[in-house]
Amino acid sequence: MMNPIRLAAMVLAAVAAVATATAQTSGPDTYKAKCAMCHGTDGSGNTPAGKAMKAQPFNSPDLIKASDADLIAATKNGKGKMPAYSGKLTDAQIKDVIAYIRKLQKQ
């Protein structure tokens, strides 16, 4: 039988590994589930819904210059034809999506 303290340490290590893996993929996963339909997988906005809603490409100078706080506010409150995601996404999910958008801007 395994020592209870050792077992507890192993369980905590496994939970921490899963939490870290989840945090690393939550931005891209949330983006794919909630944003890609309009903004496209590459952030170009080149989708039927994105064209209809006139979604700005993430690599546009205005969005590159926008602060993270500006992008978070637009995501939470909506902007133009984009709906508000406050109450639909957690603050952590929104921050993870913004971090992922910043990666898309560099591609």
Structural domain count of the chain = 1
**The domain containing residue 51 runs over which residues?**
26-105
3-state SS class at 12: helix
Q: In the prediction, which pLDDT does 22 show? A: 44
Q: In the prediction, which pLDDT does 20 show? A: 45
Chain centroid offset of residue 105 CA? 13
| Residue 21 confidence class, pLDDT cut points 50, 70, 90 | very low
DSSP 8-state assignment for residue 79: B
CA distance to 16, 78, 89, 100, per residue, from 93 (Å): 18, 15, 6, 10
pTM of the model: 0.73
Check whether 1 has a pLDDT greater than 70.
no
Q: Is residue 38 situated within a structural domain?
A: yes
Q: What CATH number did the domain enclosing 56 receive?
A: 1.10.760.10
* Region of poorest pLDDT, from 5-14, 64-73, 90-99: 5-14
Q: Is residue 3 situated within a structural domain?
A: no
Q: What mean pLDDT is predicted for residues 36-64?
A: 94
